[in-house]
């Protein structure tokens, strides 16, 4: 196998000249600059999609535990719909199909469309976790909340959800790590994220191994950071007196 | 714009889509069988308690599970020809990749399944004089398998969905079949829509079947 050539990251992307500082100046960008901006795109897609997924997923998860059968049906239908279509196909639906059916969507950059595609896809999995978290609570909690005169929304807000969300932190952590990994599918609609960078820069420089290694390393670091962050959050919000609390 | 599905007839389906569907199903089945076999071996290694078996198996599983599947597909497509010295088609490369990748996920399911069998079963098997392989084959794995069958099948449905990612190396799968048909008839919107419906019908009915199976075979303790 050929020898390593890590200097390739210091090369300017159009001329191929090596830049001494490894960071381009003026309008020039090196492969290192490009790699870091691609990392930024990956993190932006992942974080924004996670916000969408948490909001929609929690709502759908809550609906699935509601006493009203119609609400349960909406939550179930949402979950089944977004869980049973491959992510890549969903991204194509957002990118190719929706803009031609809904005119105002045509001006949207693919970045925004991918955020919604990935967010809705993940919301199905999060709704499953949130539902399981609420159902894991003893039935008496809900009855007690209603019995002391709280309305149903108040019971959720002050009694059920504070406990349920703490229960689902570990599965939500792994979903957050999944969302970083799944953001790689955005390459298919030309979002300039890490996987897209790996493919294009690898082709331009013929230094695929170095490019892939750098990208794989950044994915590792991103997922690991989320893992640690989640651990901090988990420790902060522990309920005193419960198992594992200090 | 108006949707127009008039171009779609049996001829189109059989000449573009069917080939892709066959490959997607083939890839899923090969990766499932290979992944479960390899995954069982990995799970047994991790549960063996011997550091020289546990460490490599754990490292393999954790590495595979931390890298996005698309990157794994690209890595193997790049590395297999470098190692073997001859170029490999995208289809064969995908089969190798998915088998090795899914093994990591199946092994975690197998490990959880094996750990769900009460320890007393192992002791009882040893007490009646069975060897390690007899204990595993005759006592532990049959029970573990029954416990985890629904999860294994659910993972296989996810695997079927993930096969669409061979898009990254241009293999001809179900999605690609629809895409090419869409390009040929200049009807990309309709074909992506039908692709989504077809994937949904397949995956939804399979997951309904898994749910029924789950209720049927659950061991009551």
Q: Does position A137 have pLDDT exceeding 50, yes or no?
A: yes
B71 to chain A: which residues are within 8 Å by CB?
Answer: 184, 195, 198, 212, 215-216, 219
Q: Do B167 and A188 touch (CB under 8 A)?
A: yes
pLDDT less than 70: residues of chain B: 1, 218-221
B78 to chain A: which residues are within 8 Å by CB?
Answer: 202, 208-209, 212
**CA distance to partner chain B, nearest, from residue A93 (Å):** 7
**CA distance to partner chain B, nearest, from residue A85 (Å):** 5
Residue B198 neighbours by CB distance under 10 Å? 18
Q: For the segment A39-53, what is each residue's pLDDT rounded down to a tens digit?
A: 999 999 999 999 999
Q: What is the pLDDT of residue B53?
A: 94
How confident is the model over A218-230, as a mean pLDDT? 89
A213 to chain B: which residues are within 8 Å by CB?
Answer: none
Task: Indicate which of B24, B71, B97 best probes the interface with A, i.e. most A CBs within 10 Å of its own CB.
Answer: B71
A100 to chain B: which residues are within 8 Å by CB?
Answer: 1, 189
Mean model confidence pLDDT for chain A: 90
Report residue A19: phi and psi, to 5°: -95, 130
A85 vs B82, B188, B196: nearest CB: B196
Q: Do A86 and B207 touch (CB under 8 A)?
A: no
Residue A192: DSSP 8-state: -
Q: Do B175 and A96 touch (CB under 8 A)?
A: no
Q: Exposed, middle or buried, A64 (CB in 10 Å: 0-12/13-18/19+)?
A: buried
Nearest-by-CA chain B residue for A179:
B68
B119 CB contacts (<8 Å, ≥6 apart)? none
Torsion of CA A228, A233, A236, A237, to 10 degrees: -140
Q: What is the pLDDT of residue B11?
A: 76
Nearest-by-CA chain A residue for B161:
A86
Q: Do A86 and B188 touch (CB under 8 A)?
A: no
CB B143 within 8 A of CB B121: yes
Q: What is the pLDDT of residue B219?
A: 62
Q: What is the pLDDT of residue B33?
A: 97
Q: Do B193 and A216 touch (CB under 8 A)?
A: no
User: How many angstroms separate the CA atoms of A157 and A151, rounded?
Assistant: 10
Residue A97: DSSP 8-state: I
B82 to chain A: which residues are within 8 Å by CB?
Answer: 1
**CA distance to partner chain B, nearest, from residue A224 (Å):** 9
Q: Do A89 and B164 touch (CB under 8 A)?
A: yes
Concatenating the DSSP letter of every residue in chain B gives -----TT--HHHIIIIIHHHHHHHHHHHHHHHHHHHHHHHHHHHHHHS--HHHHHHHHHHHHHHHHS-HHHHHHHHHHHHHHHHSS---HHHHHHHHHHHHHHHHHHHHHHHHHHTS-HHHHHHHHHTT--HHHIIIIIIHHHHHHHHHHHHHHHHHHHHHHGGGGGGGT---HHHHHHHHHHHTT-HHHHHHHHHHHHHHHHHHHHHHHHHHHHHHPPP-
Give chain B's contact residues with A (Cβ, < 8 Å): 1, 3, 66-71, 74-75, 78, 82, 157, 161-162, 164-165, 167-168, 175, 188-189, 192-193, 195-196, 199-200, 203-204, 207
Residue A3: DSSP 8-state: P
Report residue A18: phi and psi, to 5°: -80, 130
Q: Do B82 and A184 touch (CB under 8 A)?
A: no
Task: Indicate which of B74, B79, B186 best probes the interface with A, i.e. most A CBs within 10 Å of its own CB.
Answer: B74
- Residue A17, SS3? coil
Q: For the segment B74-129, what is each residue's pLDDT rounded down to a tens digit?
A: 999 998 888 888 888 899 999 999 999 999 999 999 999 998 888 899 999 999 99
User: How many angstroms separate the CA atoms of B93 and B84, rounded?
Assistant: 12
How confident is the model over A1-18, as a mean pLDDT? 78
Q: Which ranges in A168-244 belong to alpha helices (H)?
A: 169-182, 194-205, 208-236
User: How many angstroms separate the CA atoms of B89 and B55, rounded?
Assistant: 33
Tell me chain B's radius of gyration from C-alpha atoms: 21
CB A189 within 8 A of CB A95: yes
A207 CB contacts (<8 Å, ≥6 apart)? A5, A8, A201
Q: Does position A202 have pLDDT exceeding 50, yes or no?
A: yes
Q: Do B68 and A88 touch (CB under 8 A)?
A: no
A175 to chain B: which residues are within 8 Å by CB?
Answer: none
B73 CB contacts (<8 Å, ≥6 apart)? B93, B94, B97, B165, B166, B168, B169
How confident is the model over A80-109, as a mean pLDDT? 91
Q: What is the pLDDT of residue B1?
A: 61
Q: Do B200 and A181 touch (CB under 8 A)?
A: no
User: How many angstroms separate the CA atoms of B64 and B98, rounded?
Assistant: 11
Categorize the per-residue pLDDT at A241 as very low, low, confident or very high, splitting at 50, 70 and 90: low
Residue A232 neighbours by CB distance under 10 Å? 9
Q: What is the pLDDT of residue A246?
A: 43
Q: What is the pLDDT of residue A204?
A: 87
């Amino acid at each position: 196998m050929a020898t390593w050539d890590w200097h390739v990251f210091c090369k300017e992307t159009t001329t191929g000249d090596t830049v001494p500082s490894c960071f381009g100046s003026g309008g020039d960008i090196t492969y290192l600059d490009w790699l870091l901006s691609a990392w930024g795109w990956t993190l932006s897609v992942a974080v924004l999609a996670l916000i969408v997924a948490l909001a929609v997923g929690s709502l759908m998860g809550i609906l699935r535990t509601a006493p009203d059968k119609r609400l349960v049906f909406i939550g179930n239908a949402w979950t089944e719909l977004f869980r049973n279509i491959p992510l890549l196909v969903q991204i194509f639906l957002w990118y190719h199909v929706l803009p031609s059916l809904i005119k105002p969507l045509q001006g949207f950059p693919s970045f925004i469309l991918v955020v919604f595609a990935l967010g809705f896809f993940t919301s199905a999995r999060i709704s499953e976790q949130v539902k399981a978290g609420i159902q894991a609570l003893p039935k008496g909690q809900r009855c007690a909340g209603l019995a002391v005169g709280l309305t149903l929304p108040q019971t959720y807000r002050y009694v059920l959800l504070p406990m349920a969300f703490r229960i689902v932190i570990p599965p939500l952590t792994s979903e957050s790590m999944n969302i970083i990994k799944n953001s790689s599918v955005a390459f298919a609609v030309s979002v300039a994220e890490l996987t897209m960078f790996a493919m294009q820069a690898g082709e331009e420089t013929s230094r695929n191994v170095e490019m892939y290694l750098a990208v794989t390393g950044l994915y590792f670091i991103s997922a690991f950071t989320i893992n640690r962050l989640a651990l901090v959050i988990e420790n902060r919000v522990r309920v005193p007196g419960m198992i594992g609390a200090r | 714009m108006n949707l127009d599905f008039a171009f779609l007839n049996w001829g189109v389906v059989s000449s573009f889509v069917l080939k892709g569907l066959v490959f997607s199903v083939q890839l899923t089945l090969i990766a499932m069988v290979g992944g479960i076999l390899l995954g069982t071996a990995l799970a047994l290694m991790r549960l063996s308690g011997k550091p020289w078996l546990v460490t490599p198996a754990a490292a393999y599983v954790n590495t595979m599970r931390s890298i996005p599947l698309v990157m794994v597909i690209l890595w193997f497509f790049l590395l297999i020809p470098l190692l073997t010295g001859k170029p490999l088609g995208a289809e064969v490369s995908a089969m190798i990749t998915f088998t090795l990748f899914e093994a990591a996920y199946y092994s975690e399911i197998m490990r959880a399944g094996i750990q769900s069998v009460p320890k007393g079963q192992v002791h009882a098997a040893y007490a009646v004089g069975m060897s390690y392989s007899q204990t595993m084959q005759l006592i532990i794995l049959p029970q573990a398998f029954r416990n985890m069958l629904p999860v294994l099948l659910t993972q296989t449905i996810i695997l079927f969905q993930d096969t669409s990612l061979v898009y990254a190396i241009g293999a001809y799968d179900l999605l690609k079949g629809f895409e090419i048909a869409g390009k040929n008839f200049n009807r990309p919107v309709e074909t992506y829509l039908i692709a989504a419906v077809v994937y949904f019908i397949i995956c939804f009915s399979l997951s309904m079947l898994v749910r029924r199976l789950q209720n049927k075979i659950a061991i009551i303790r």
